[in-house]
Amino acid sequence: DMAAAVLLPVGDLAVAHGVVLSVEPNPSIYGGNFITDLPGALAFHRHVAHAGFGVNLDLGERICNAPDDDTAGFAAAAHAVTHMQISAPSLAPPLGIQARIAAAGTALVAAGYNRSISIEMRRSDDPLDVIARVVSEARSALALV
């Protein structure tokens, strides 16, 4: 209730400027203690019930909190997702997660999602090679959608 009260005026401002703010769950393994998983973000989204707020679907969070196939979770979240973020735990390069990317993309597209998809990762020793590999894997996974 406290967070909603503080954020509702921000949501009004977002709508006035034609933008949406996305709440991103921060897993408890990183020290988070508020909105630590996708179900929590969806519950907050329902509680706030404001056009200025959406949910950021962070694949790294899903890998941390739902290590098995989470197709049902993606489908349940699709209506609220305003941004999809391809990432891995601890911001490692998100390599080898094509099945997760495709499952999330399929659920979002089925719900009419047509917004941005980003990649978030920390710097690596060979950044250009890693970026090329990550983008290639993400594009291949999303081509299946």
Structure confidence at residue 145 as a pLDDT band (50, 70, 90): confident
Say if residue 72's pLDDT is above 90: no
Give every CB contact of residue 37 below 8 A, 6+ residues apart in sequence. 25, 27, 61, 65, 66
The count of residues in the chain is 145
CA angle 64/69/75 to nearest 5° reads 100
Q: Is the pLDDT of residue 70 over 90?
A: no
